[in-house]
Amino acid sequence: MATKFLALACIRKESTYGDLSPRPRYPSMPKYPKGVSVRETNVEGSEAKAVFSVMGMTCSACAGSVEKAVKRLPGIREAVVDVLNNKAQVLFYPSFVNEETIRETIEDAGFEATLIQEGTSDRSTQVCRIRINGMTCTSCSSTVEQALQAIPGVQKAQVALATEEAEVHYDPNILSYNQILEAINDTGFEAILLSTGVDMSKIGLKIVGVRTQNSMRIIENSLQALPGVQSVDIDPEVNKISLSYKPDVTGPRNFINVIESTGTSGRFKATIFPEGGGRESHRQEEIKQYYRSFLWSLVFTVPVFLISMIFMYIPGIKHALDTKIVNMLSIGAILRWVLSTPVQFIIGRRFYTGSYKALRNGSPNMDVLIALGTNAAYFYSVYSVLRSATSPSFESADFFETSSMLISFILLGKYLEVLAKGKTSEAIAKLMDLAPGTAILLTLDDQGNVSSEEEIDSRLIQRNDVIKIIPGAKIASDGFVIWGQSHVNESMITGEARPVAKRKGDTVIGGTVNENGVLHIKATRVGSESALSQIVRLVESAQMAKAPVQKFADRISRYFVPLVIILSFSTWLAWFLAGKFHGYPGSWIPKSMDSFQLALQFGISVMVIACPCALGLATPTAVMVGTGVGASQGVLIKGGQALESAHKVNCIVFDKTGTLTIGKPLVVSTRLLKNLALRDFYELVAAAEVNSEHPLAKAIVEYAKKFREDEESPKWPEAQDFESITGHGVKAIVRNKEVIVGNKSLMLENNIPISIDAEEILAETEGMAQTGILVSIDREVTGVLAISDPLKPGAHEVISILKSMKVRSIMVTGDNWGTAHSIAREVGIETVIAEAKPEHKAEKVKELQAAGYIVAMVGDGINDSPALVVADVGMAIGAGTDIAIEAADIVLMKSNLEDVITAIDLSRKTFFRIRLNYIWALGYNLLGIPIAAGALFPGTGFRLPPWIAGAAMAASSVSVVVCSLLLKNYKRPKKLENLDIGGIMIE
């Protein structure tokens, strides 16, 4: 089962959508395949080919034994084994042998074989996501990352401390995800597989009524036989079946029907397996663990604190505690020892475990510092107590309260830190919560009428299902409207505040809210293919990706802990030797201790005040919050690299069509030269133009519909003798009137006089880079239409605001010079490059970079993709093409130009937080360590007890996370709030 599962594809770089149309045009995201077949056979006549991944071969002798074993089978025409790439290619005759038999033969020869897709080498990058439990600081994440990068076959590995997850890109022909999990476990951390790809849909089903393993096998075989099922994985302990399948072929309701029809009299029942094990549930469990540990530590630490610090000043209790049992051993010392021991070894066990794992990997972390500090205090105290028990004169002075209070404060700090870290990923949790729990499934008869409706779990929706959406309900799936009309609030996905009108044929996005009318929608993308799932994956990937500035913290973390250990030991040694050789006055030593104990306290304080965590959390927590805030504003930022580059941008290159302009022709003005009602005029014009396929004709018909808004699909008067004149216009007889719609030359050809007024209107229209269309009714020019690709609302204001932000704007377009300069003049752009091919756009970006600019490219089309890739930051307009969106670093989902400013401003605010975090984290360590080492003690007598040093260390991590969390209050620049970007005004 495992080998078959391994053959399934993970995230692939190649991407397509399903062939259903229409489909949502946004949110525009990296697209993924629907699913990849586990077998690829190219049959020529009766011959077939199969390619296997063969693991375990070490030399040519291994390859030879595999080849011989396969060639012994009947029906094998040829077998070639490549030991370097761990692959075997077999040509065979399917009537004699099949792929499964060949695979089993290779395994019988002693090697692990997996059937793979032919041609996988062309797109052999797969991705798996893994949760890693037990990481405490940057040193831990760096250790895991280095271990992963050292594995042959791993192309890229990212380990995020803030999310406690790893994203690994690997070659499935060389490596399996199980080997990746083992490598992480070998470094001493717990690895849990979250996903092995997104190119297939997955679902878990809980089976009720299964009593024997044989029953489970029967169910498994029944499911395996279903077309479109890619893998079936069984967990018999909880009666769970996990299935990976092709959503365009089958779906979860089919699985449930198969399971419930298997066996006798409906003995088996299947339901969706309860959700669990996700990031949020793990976070909640971690919070509970730290909370419980902290409470238990308080149970023991509070009495130790009272005995050490309070009761010693109460005469009666002090006398009882000072009562000697053996020699100088007192009852108080015994009580402190007994109470602090569970804190040190049971509650503090996590620090020993973490230290062992870290030291085993040669990368000491924060756990090592805590374990060394608390052990030094605890074991010195044990030595002191035992010596007092064996000596009639030695009076012990123990530090049991130091070790127990230190552990308690660190646990409190970790609890607060995990609590705060959980809030940094709230954006993902909110996105996931958008999906509704249930949906109303409609059954249609042969005539398309609704025959029945049923409420189902929304996870059971399959492709092509018809779903009913009532007013106020969330839309359960991506799809398109097949009946009804309403307004849909899409702000939760796109950030666009205004409800969007929806009628038959319009696309809808799962998770958005239907506001008024009832809609019937046909599901087109379900499960992992949905827009919501893709946004969640993009935000998760963005939060995984490290910003370049984080390399600074990673470099420091390698040397931080060893350096602190050396400083701590040096501090103890310096104070100890100074005391031994009377380097300072004896009056400096507190009455309750000697010079050795004073030196030990300084050494322990240095060890526990140092905080590598604060440095490690400075960047990722800010990036997590920043990308989450961006997603809620409709700005999808694909990781720390894009976020870091955007704040430096000082030059933006804009494409024209679809970026600065709407991207499709619209009627922007109508001038009538005769006394005629506008509705009647457009009825005649639309009747003539409705038969034409020309984009300008479609724009006229679309505009004419505005005068017939009372009808869903208006019917125009019949046009007779219709004639389309290529490059000029159309002619037709409508309601016994001759209607000619076209350019000036068409009128002249038909000997229709053009008045001076019409000539002036045409000249004025062309001067504004618009297309003038003349309309003649009964051989008289009756009106002039101006058609143009209008500017997006607020384009001029956005360019003006960018200038005030000291960002230069340039326009690059493939359009002609006249139109380009007219548009540039209108928006306020001074530098224009027209008639540019796609490669010229990329070259211009490179020229600007060579001149010292940090360049952002904003585009929407396929022709913008080269420039988007070359630019320091590529920004894709959300309604643009899939290829442009793939190439971009930032996706502007609302397609509003104002979001260019939002993206840059959010990046600047995020990096202000990152700098603030670094100043705090570095400043804390640079100031805290000398103070803990006793730098102020000679002059002021001030010293930092170890338990206070531990509390300060815990507080530093929390403060860094809280500083990042303040980004959640991000507001767009006030200039944008005051900018009233309304709809496009059409005369």
Q: Report pLDDT digits (tens) over 254-264.
A: 888 888 777 66
Residue 790 has a CB neighbour count (10 Å cut-off) of: 21
Q: Does pLDDT of 156 surpass 50?
A: yes
Name, of 5-9, 376-380, 444-448, the range with top average pLDDT: 376-380
Fold of 450-528: 2.70.150
Q: Residue 292 has which token pair?
A: 């419980």
Distance, in Å, from the CA atom of 941 to the CA atom of 937, rounded to the nearest integer, reads 4
DSSP 458: G
- To the query of whether residue 655 is one of the catalytic residues in this protein, the response is yes
Q: Does pLDDT of 624 surpass 60?
A: yes
> Residue 42 — very low, low, confident or very high, per pLDDT cuts 50/70/90?
very low
Average pLDDT of the residues in 463-487? 88
- State residue 810's pLDDT score: 92
- The least confident of 15-24, 450-459, 761-770 is 15-24
Q: Residue 556 has which token pair?
A: 């420091």
Q: Which residue has the higher pLDDT, 93 or 35?
A: 93
Name, of 442-451, 568-577, 600-609, the range with top average pLDDT: 568-577
For residue 43, with 0-12 CB atoms within 10 Å meaning exposed, 13-18 middle and 19 or more buried, which class applies? exposed
- State residue 297's pLDDT score: 93
Per-residue CA distances from 734 to 463, 466, 489, 708, 976 (Å): 44, 40, 41, 18, 49
- The least confident of 458-472, 689-703, 869-883 is 869-883
CA pseudo-torsion sign 748, 754, 758, 764: positive
Q: Which residue has the higher pLDDT, 56 or 117?
A: 56
Q: Does pLDDT of 396 surpass 70?
A: yes
Q: Does pLDDT of 89 surpass 70?
A: yes
Per-residue CA distances from 166 to 149, 181, 320, 538, 806 (Å): 12, 10, 56, 15, 38
For residue 720, with 0-12 CB atoms within 10 Å meaning exposed, 13-18 middle and 19 or more buried, which class applies? exposed
Q: Tell me the pLDDT of the chain averaged across its residues.
A: 79
> Residue 494 — very low, low, confident or very high, per pLDDT cuts 50/70/90?
low
Q: Does pLDDT of 581 surpass 70?
A: yes
- The least confident of 52-61, 390-399, 601-610 is 52-61
- State residue 19's pLDDT score: 31
* Long-range contacts of 118-123, Cβ-Cβ distance < 8 Å, separation of 24 or more: 118/40, 118/41, 118/42, 118/49, 118/50, 118/51, 119/40, 120/51, 120/172, 120/173, 121/85, 121/173, 123/12, 123/13, 123/14
Q: Which residue has the higher pLDDT, 443 or 276?
A: 443
Q: Residue 645 has which token pair?
A: 């580059």
Q: Are 105 and 193 in contact (CB under 8 A)?
A: no
Q: Which residue has the higher pLDDT, 835 or 668?
A: 668
Q: Are 679 and 643 in contact (CB under 8 A)?
A: no
Average pLDDT of the residues in 135-151? 83
- The least confident of 3-7, 495-499, 735-739, 946-950 is 3-7
Average pLDDT of the residues in 955-960? 84
Give the CA dihedral 338, 340, 346, 349, nearest 10 degrees. -140
Average pLDDT of the residues in 691-697? 79
Q: Does pLDDT of 35 surpass 60?
A: no
- State residue 39's pLDDT score: 33
Active-site entry in 171, 398, 478, 655: 655
Distance, in Å, from the CA atom of 909 to the CA atom of 618, rounded to the nearest integer, reads 14
Per-residue CA distances from 948 to 533, 608, 735, 921 (Å): 46, 9, 93, 17
Residue type, 733: I
Please list the alpha-helical segments (H only) found in 262-365. Answer: 279-305, 315-321, 331-342, 349-360
Q: Does pLDDT of 296 surpass 50?
A: yes
Distance, in Å, from the CA atom of 484 to the CA atom of 467, rounded to the nearest integer, reads 12
Distance, in Å, from the CA atom of 956 to the CA atom of 614, rounded to the nearest integer, reads 6
- State residue 109's pLDDT score: 81
Distance, in Å, from the CA atom of 780 to the CA atom of 783, rounded to the nearest integer, reads 9
- The least confident of 27-41, 596-610, 780-794, 836-850 is 27-41
> Residue 870 — very low, low, confident or very high, per pLDDT cuts 50/70/90?
confident
Average pLDDT of the residues in 49-70? 77
Q: Residue 400 belongs to what H/E stretch? A: helix 400-424
- State residue 83's pLDDT score: 62
Q: Does pLDDT of 147 surpass 80?
A: yes
Q: Does pLDDT of 807 surpass 80?
A: yes
Q: Which residue has the higher pLDDT, 680 or 422?
A: 680
Q: Residue 489 has which token pair?
A: 């609030």
- Among 3.40.50.1370, 1.20.1250.20, 3.20.20.70, 3.40.50.1000, what is the CATH number of 635-661+792-893? 3.40.50.1000
- The least confident of 684-693, 932-941, 973-982 is 973-982
Three-class SS of residue 20?
coil
pLDDT tens digit sequence for 297-337:
999 999 998 888 788 788 888 888 888 888 888 898 899 99
Q: Residue 406 has which token pair?
A: 């230190």
- State residue 274's pLDDT score: 67
- State residue 10's pLDDT score: 32
Task: Report helix, strand and coil shares of the chain as percent, to nearest 5.
Answer: 50, 20, 30
Preceding amide of 342 cis, omega within 30: no
> Residue 775 — very low, low, confident or very high, per pLDDT cuts 50/70/90?
very high
Q: Which of 318, 334, 315 is nearest to 326 (CA)?
A: 334
CATH class of 201-275: alpha beta
Distance, in Å, from the CA atom of 17 to the CA atom of 367, rounded to the nearest integer, reads 47
Q: Does pLDDT of 2 surpass 70?
A: no
Q: Which residue has the higher pLDDT, 886 or 565?
A: 565
For residue 982, with 0-12 CB atoms within 10 Å meaning exposed, 13-18 middle and 19 or more buried, which class applies? exposed
> Residue 435 — very low, low, confident or very high, per pLDDT cuts 50/70/90?
confident
- State residue 592's pLDDT score: 67
- State residue 572's pLDDT score: 92
CATH number of 48-116: 3.30.70.100
Per-residue CA distances from 415 to 286, 287, 292, 346 (Å): 8, 6, 10, 17
- State residue 341's pLDDT score: 94
- State residue 84's pLDDT score: 59
Q: Which residue has the higher pLDDT, 763 or 117?
A: 763
Q: What percentage of the chain has pLDDT greater than the value 90?
A: 10
Q: Which residue has the higher pLDDT, 270 or 912?
A: 912
CATH class of 126-196: alpha beta
- State residue 344's pLDDT score: 92
> Residue 652 — very low, low, confident or very high, per pLDDT cuts 50/70/90?
very high
CATH 3.40.1110.10 fits 666-788, yes or no: yes
- State residue 458's pLDDT score: 83
Average pLDDT of the residues in 413-430? 73
Average pLDDT of the residues in 835-849? 83
Preceding amide of 30 cis, omega within 30: no
- State residue 632's pLDDT score: 81
- State residue 543's pLDDT score: 66
- State residue 124's pLDDT score: 60
- State residue 31's pLDDT score: 29
